[in-house]
Amino acid sequence: MSVAYAQRARKILCIGRNYVDHIKELNNVKPSSPFFFLKPSSSILLPNEGPMLAPKGVIVHYEVELALIMGKTLKNLDPAKFGKKEAIDAIDGYALAVDMTARNIQDEAKKKGLPWSIGKGFDTFLPLSHYIPKSQIPDPHNVNLHLELNGEKRQNDSTGLMIFDIPKILTTMSSIMTIQPGDLILTGTPKGVGSVRPGDKITAGLSVNGKEIEEGKIAFI
């Protein structure tokens, strides 16, 4: 199993609000088109490199997400010509990701109209799994994502519930920023996000048709 992909990412793009029930649980407004933000590569936490560090006075939430590891350069894609087949062709592999979020800092930024970069970008705020070969995930819209807090299931939903599917995510992003090989794209989190306290243990993973994918397992404190 390898984590070399994580060193190659020149940018890490994350979709916000891509699952209806997650939008509801945070009392957010459903977006009319995908919006996204950047996480810095310095926030990556590789397997067995823990712990995740919660800054003092900060409410830290977990958000389990499917990450795409891009394999092609994509620029100004034509939505009429870029469907699921083309999207999968452009993907090199996958990873499981947890988009850790300083929720109180993000809420304050939202109120003041300030960037999200601080609330999303602390060191260790991006736990990643090992590289998942493409062959393990025949359809990225049919993956079950799950996350447990101290062994108790908190998130457990299918990527089929995404509001904006992967072709739509990639065409939107590519109209703004050129997507480059190695870039990581986080596709949003399903419902069930919540906060972690010192000593809490997070485990997360993904399964396809009931079969757990070894490379996708994450565990950290």
Give the span between the Cα atoms of 205 and 87, in whole angstroms: 23
177 binds a second copy (CB under 8 A): yes
26 binds a second copy (CB under 8 A): no
Contact between 98 and 63 under an 8 Å Cβ cutoff? The reply is: yes
Among 18, 43, 101, 189, binds a second copy (CB under 8 A): 43
Among 63, 157, 183, 215, binds Mg ion (CB under 5 A): 63
User: Smallest gap, in angstroms, from Cβ of residue 181 to a second copy?
Assistant: 12
- How close are the terminal C-alpha atoms of the chain, in Å? 21
Backbone phi, then psi, for 218, in 5-degree steps?
A: -125, 140
Contact between 123 and 43 under an 8 Å Cβ cutoff? The reply is: yes
At residue 209, the 3 state secondary structure works out as coil
Nearest by Cα to 8 from 181, 218, 207: 181
Among 3, 20, 41, 59, binds a second copy (CB under 8 A): 41
Query: Which span sits near a second copy by CB under 8 A: 36-44, 127-135, 154-162, 199-207?
Result: 36-44
189 binds Mg ion (CB under 5 A): yes
114 binds a second copy (CB under 8 A): yes
Give the span between the Cα atoms of 123 and 41, in whole angstroms: 9
36 binds a second copy (CB under 8 A): yes
Contact between 184 and 68 under an 8 Å Cβ cutoff? The reply is: yes
Site for a second copy in 72-91 (CB under 8 A): 75
Give the span between the Cα atoms of 15 and 90, in whole angstroms: 18
Among 2, 10, 51, 160, binds a second copy (CB under 8 A): 10
Give the span between the Cα atoms of 122 and 206, in whole angstroms: 25
Only one residue has tokens 């990873």, namely 95
Among 37, 62, 82, 125, binds Mg ion (CB under 5 A): 37
125 binds Mg ion (CB under 5 A): no
Interacting residue ranges for a second copy, rule: CB under 8 A: 10-11, 13, 16, 29, 35-38, 40-43, 55, 75, 109-118, 121-123, 175-180
Positions touching Mg ion (CB under 5 A) are 37, 63, 99, 115-117, 189
